[in-house]
Amino acid sequence: MSDVAKIFDDINNKLTADPGKVAGIKAVYLFNVTGEGGGNWYVDLTTDKPTVKTEGSTANCTVTMDAADFISIINGTLNAQMAFMTGKIKIAGDMGLAMKLQKIIG
């Protein structure tokens, strides 16, 4: 995929189809995607029906990265752990929640 908004639509569809995938994660993630095609997306897992939206409440975990890097992670051409270790991904908030990101974007 090459469009960040479409990726988040796809994530929303996957979470709606299988909310059990993120069962037990009662948190709000903010994805602050910078650069061309970027924006803010909130992944709200605090209810039985996970939602992805462009506006939200206070996030428990904020993930900041460039749009091109985000697309590369989704496409499998950039390793998320390596991107974090090299500073391409910045995490603020609950680091324990950051460890569960694969359940959301995977």
Residue 19: CATH number of its domain: 3.30.1050.10
How far apart, in whole angstroms, are the C-alpha atoms of residue 20 and residue 4?
24
91: enclosing H helix or E strand: strand 89-93
First-last CA distance in the chain: 13
Count CB atoms within 10 A of the CB of residue 30: 20
45-90 pLDDT per residue, tens:
999 899 999 998 799 999 999 999 999 999 999 999 999 999 999 9
The confidence band for 102, taking pLDDT boundaries of 50, 70 and 90, is: confident
**Domains identified in the chain, total number:** 1
Q: Give the predicted TM-score (pTM) of the model.
A: 0.92
Tokens of 75: 């496409």
The confidence band for 103, taking pLDDT boundaries of 50, 70 and 90, is: confident
Helical axes 67-75 vs 4-17, angle rounded to 10°: 50
Residue 10 lies in domain: 4-105
Percent of the chain with pLDDT over 70: 97
